[in-house]
Structure 1
Amino acid sequence: MSLRLSLWLLLFCLGMFRHKLLPGVQADSVPSAAKTLVWGPGLEANIVLPARFFYVQAVDSSGRNLTTSPGEKTFEVKIVSPVEQFTRIWIQVLDRQDGSFLVRYRMYATYTDIHIHILLNNKHIAKSPFILEGPVYHEGCDCPQPSGSVWEAHMHCPQSFPQIDRDLAIYASVDPDRNAQEIPQRFGQRQSLCHYTVKDNKVYVQTFGEHVGFRIFMDAILLSLTRKVRLPDLEFFVNLGDWPLEKRKPTEKIQPIFSWCGSNNTRDIVMPTYDLTESVLETMGRVSLDMMSVQANTGPPWPEKNATAFWRGRDSRQERLELVKLSRAQPNTIDAAFTNFFFFKHDESLYGPLVKHVSFFDFFKYKYQINIDGTVAAYRLPYLLAGDSVVLKQDSSYYEHFYNELQPWEHYIPIRADLGDLLEKIQWARDHDEEAKKIALAGQQFARNYLMGNRIFCYYYKLFQEYAKLQVTEPKIREGMELVEQPSDDLFPCYCHRTSLRDSAKDEL
């Protein structure tokens, strides 16, 4: 064999080996340490979140964004504090499989400052190391920013939220004194309510009704917010049940009730759901399903997903029974089954047998995700959008705090409330694969932009701020209310620089 032929064969084999080593990566497209981009709220000391996060976009030497994963272990992240021998920080680098990475970290102590090192083949990328000049507070540190406007600027909160504007527009004013008398009389016997007062940035509560366990979610977000920013004094009622309560017409005397779900037939003031709220507060904590973890578990690439519409859940609505029935008639089109029977136990023999629970991340093995209401809105929609399957969403009178910003045919494929056009819509998606994929990616981008933890905190703060402006009598700590204590943080206490500044000022006086 000639030397030239041997060299040619060697180069050919090396080329084949290289392509096997980097499947799906564009030819000659590998990340460049200098060109790769890094950004996000987790690079700013003043943005305090339960789990801080930032993004890395792999870019090649010619300046092109990579659109497939260069490998899960491509980037290494280290976070250290120069004045601490050990840092109590848990870090995760999540590969989003589209050339970008989500880096999240949860701090269990407060540091004077921290240095974030992001490395590619032991080389710093972009402007690494990123230095967060402190103090850099952890989630448990009670050190509120005194100025709400400063906090909003630090958090990059939007000027307004359209849903908040819509919900509060029906109230010319709010009278805490009158509400404190009338709302418990009207709802307190039959419903489960919490009556909250925030006074001097401390939280007080009184409960009404039997089933008040869900109060823990509202307590948690209020305590977390008051550790971060000084809330205005306000007094309000929270509905702890599934269904929104205020059914009076605009011409009647409407009373303000905060709920986790709204409907076209009620007037409740909508907050992010307790499920989404807890997932934000407990990210990298006791919950595994959150808006970040989903982004790293979106199943196989689009062409390799199963072209069947998928659904799992419990029997909380008649349309869900119809869906399972339809699945049996069209098993090659729909894979739908119940994991639990509760509401229609007498029909279990008709719509069973029950199937085992499927990991939510395994949902994304399927291209088409069916979203049907439960007792109210199906609270899984944020997580379905965050994947890269396309959502077929049932038309519904119920909505969460972000539904009105979603656009049919842009962020999801709409289906009729009675599911009458479901088979037709699935067939459309199959026949228009590129358009369906485009809708899936637009829904995913919406979730990434508007449903992450920083936006949820902004939403709650803006809601409380705007509601407080409507009050015409002073919020009071009513008889029967108890203080909601901040959790103790004895293991890793923090020293709030704002507290010491206030103490110094008092000493000077």
Structure 2
Amino acid sequence: MPRRALLGHLLRLAALWLPAPALCASPAPSPSRTLVWGLGLETHAVLPVRFFFIQAVDKAGVNFTTSPGENTFEVKVVSPSEPFSRIWVQLLDRHDGSFLVRYRMYASYTDLNIHVLLRNKPVAKSPYILTGSVYHESCDCPESNGALWEKYMRCPSSFAQIQHDLSVFTRVDLDRNAEEIPVYIKTYGEHVGFRIFMDAFLLSLTRKVTLPDIEFFVNLGDWPLEKRRAPGKLHPIFSWCGSNDTRDIVMPTYDLTESVLETMGRVSLDMMSVQGNTGPPWAEKNSTGFWRGRDSRRERLELVKMARANPTLMDAAFTNFFFFKHDESLYGPLVKHVSFFDFFKYKYQINVDGTVAAYRLPYLLAGDSVVLKQESIYYEHFYAALQPWVHYIPLKADLSDLLEKIQWAKDHDEEALEIARAGQMFARTHLMGDSIFCYYFKLFQEYAKLQVTEPKVRVGMERVEQPKDDLFPCYCHRTKVKDEL
């Protein structure tokens, strides 16, 4: 073999034995630089489900923007004095470099320890010690100082919607209200009515903080009731939905309120669960508009009709017919229900009113898709803080620009993603359980200031008792024990 050929052959053989170049390893989170924060690390911030956050940070101090892996961190919540603590912990990967940690306590404990670990090393300032009595949801131990409770909960000083709703009432005469506001309640069948949502939340709130003495009327239906008229003839009625044609005082919806109470309980859709189930990354989502629901408004019929004519832009269909059953042959057939979390396989979420405002909007905003929201006369307690083209893409009330707006989103992908993220951040900041409790407390507090007559127990009223927890009773440190004579 010629010398040059032999040298080339030997070089090729040598190359076969060279070790493969090392693959570029992804940076790992740093235990010391990773951030941990949130109300769930505070003793006195009592919620049905407590929560806090972890932001993965590398050793250079750079925040992760994608998931480092759902099993990256380990969280343990224990009580040193109780080896078998009844605490359920869940760690939700938000797929943006951050995690939401939530835990529900089924009993009260002393000096709760929260350990956040990364490869068995403590993260940030772990362990976090919640000193003193740490109460669970069922514990009836209200803080008597409302201002102190607001400080514990980090409540904002005011809510613009509350100020707006109460501004038309210079005074509230409770005796006049009792005489002039008709009260009707009748329940048929197996359901006990929407009153259960209000009772459950009021009981929960009064276990946490002492409310001023108040007397108020709650509209248990969806439609707002108090028509616009001269201020002196208005009656203060609390409702879950407001409208441009009415003067109802708006509260967070029963749907959102119940999800706060029943998180990690009997509901599967809540503001925390959505954050851990936002579907594939933006680039891998289906670039079409998506909607599912029932036929509770004529615009929804037009939406389905439009989707059939434009299947490359929209996927919209009914899962149930109730209001327009005679049109089912035109707008059917019905399709199977889709898990709400599967909505986020699509980039563009279409939000259209139902009988009133579509109560799904908080969950749509919390996902990782951009919301296209119909212009509406109806609103929930947070709508006034939302900005079109910042938190959502606006649609005309008749949906005549829907195709145009979906095409705009497709042609402006980066801008659409930016709007999606802003809407998501709004939901994370303003629509979590702590914000809902703060809103109700501030609403009742401000309303109480307007009362010019004393609240009283009137004929026909029923006392609503706190539920008893005989299995895991708590011993409130704020309860004064009387000396026996």
Q: Same fold (TM over 0.5)?
A: yes
| Deviation per residue, 1:272-331 (Å, 9 max, x gap) | 000000000000010010000000000000000000000000000000000000001001
1:431 alignment counterpart? 411
CA shift at 1:251, angstroms?
4.7
Q: 1:157 aligns with which of 147, 155, 169?
A: 155
> Are 2:284 and 1:304 equivalent residues in the alignment?
yes
3-state SS of the aligned residue for 2:197?
helix
CA distance in 1, matches of 2:463, 2:19: 77
Provide closer, same or farther for how the CA distance between residues 428 and 478 of structure 1 changes in structure 2, counting only shifts above 3 A: same
Match of 2:381 in 1: 401
State yes or no: 1:218 paired with 2:198: yes
Q: Is the 8 A contact 1:371 1:393 kept in 2?
A: yes
Could you say which residue in structure 1 is the equivalent of 2:35? 37
Distance apart, 1:479 and its partner CA: 1.3
Partner SS, residue 178 of structure 1: helix
SS of 1:367's equivalent in the other structure is: strand
2: CA distance between counterparts of 1:82 and 1:4? Answer: 61
Counterpart of 1:449?
A: 429
Q: CA deviation at 1:449?
A: 0.2
Counterpart for residue 86 of structure 2: 88
Matches within 5 A, 1:103-114: 103-114=101-112
Give distance in 1, aligned partners of 2:453 and 2:79.
48
Match of 1:369 in 2: 349
Q: How does 1:277-292 map to 2 (within 5 A)?
A: 277-292=257-272
Task: Report the equivalent of 2:450.
Answer: 470
Q: Gaps spanning 5+ residues in structure 2: where?
A: 1-9
CA–CA distance in 1 between the matches of 2:286 and 2:408?
16
Q: Secondary structure at the match of 2:30?
A: coil
Task: Describe the SS at the equivalent of 1:275.
Answer: helix
Counterparts of residues 53-68 of structure 1 (less than 5 Å): 53-68=51-66
Displacement of 1:209: 4.4
SS in 2 for 1:133: strand
Assess, with a 3 A threshold, how the Cα gap between structure 1 residues 456 and 8 changes in structure 2: closer, same or farther: farther
Deviations 1:391-410 (A, max 9, x none): 00000000000000000000
- Higher radius of gyration, 1 or 2: 2
Which whole-Å CA distance do the structure 2 matches of 1:113 and 1:493 have between them? 17
Q: Which residue of 2 aligns with 1:24?
A: none
The answer for unaligned runs of 5 or more in structure 1 is 19-27, 190-207
- 1:85 shift after superposition: 1.4
- The one of 355, 365, 385 equivalent to 1:385 is 365
Amino acid at match of 1:165: Q
Residue 73 of structure 2 is matched in structure 1 by 75
Please name the residue that 1:507 is paired with.
Answer: 483
What SS does the aligned partner of 1:497 have? coil
| Structure 1 residue 210 displacement after superposition | 4.5
1:412 maps to 392
> How much has 1:248 moved relative to structure 2?
3.2
Q: What is the match of residue 480 of structure 1?
A: 460
SS of 2:107's equivalent? coil
**Aligned partners of 1:262 and 1:400 also within 8 Å:** yes
User: In 1, are the aligned partners of 2:242 and 2:380 still within 8 Å (CA)?
Assistant: yes
Q: 2:49 is aligned with what amino acid?
A: A
Name the % identity: 74
- Cα offset, 1:112, TM superposition: 1.1
CA offsets per residue over residues 33-76 of structure 1, 9 Å max, x none? 01000000000010000000000000000000000000000000
Match for residue 420 of structure 2? 440
Question: Which SS does the other structure have where 1:235 is aligned?
Answer: coil
Contact 2:214 2:455 in 1 (8 A): yes
One-letter identity of the residue aligned with 2:272 = M
Q: 5 Å matches for 1:18-417? A: 18=25, 28-184=26-182, 188-189=183-184, 208-210=185-187, 213-251=193-231, 253-417=233-397
| Aligned counterparts of 1:242 and 1:124: Cα–Cα separation in 2 | 49
1:250 CA displacement? 3.5
Aligned partners of 1:109, 1:310: CA distance in 2, in Å? 42
Q: Distance in 2 between matches of 1:480 and 1:316?
A: 35
2:9 corresponds to 1:15: no
Deviation at 1:507, TM superposition (A): 3.0
- Whether contact under 8 Å (1:108, 1:138) holds in the other structure is yes
How far did 1:249 drift? 1.6
Q: Is the 8 A contact 1:291 1:386 kept in 2?
A: yes
Structure 1 residues 494, 7: closer, same or farther in 2, change over 3 A?
farther
Change (3 A) 1:4 1:488: farther
Measure how far apart 1:6 and its partner are: 6.1
> SS where residue 180 of structure 2 aligns?
helix
1:446 and 1:7 mapped to 2: Cα distance?
Answer: 56
Does structure 2 conserve the Cα–Cα contact (< 8 Å) formed by 1:29 and 1:66? Answer: no
Whether the 8 Å CA contact 1:110–1:135 is kept in 2: the answer is: yes
Partner Cα separation in structure 2 for residue 4 and residue 404 of structure 1? 71
When normalised by structure 1's length, the TM-score is: 0.91
| TM-score normalised to structure 2 length | 0.95
**Alpha-carbon contact 2:168-2:231 (below 8 Å) kept:** no
Which position in structure 1 is the counterpart of 2:440?
A: 460
Separation in 2, partners of 1:432, 1:220: 45
The aligned amino acid for 1:91 is: V
Partner Cα distance (2:458, 2:16) in 1: 89
* Counterpart residue identity of residue 146, structure 1: S
How far, CA to CA, are the matches of 1:60 and 1:508 in structure 2?
Answer: 61
What amino acid is the match of 1:73?
N
Distance 2:83 2:389 in 1: 53
What is the CA distance between 1:482 and its match in structure 2?
1.0
Check conservation: 1:170, 1:250, Cα contact below 8 A.
Answer: no
Alpha-carbon RMSD:
1.5
Structure 1 pair 15–40 and aligned structure 2 pair: CA distance change class (3 A): same
User: Are 2:476 and 1:496 equivalent residues in the alignment?
Assistant: yes
Counting matched residue pairs gives 472
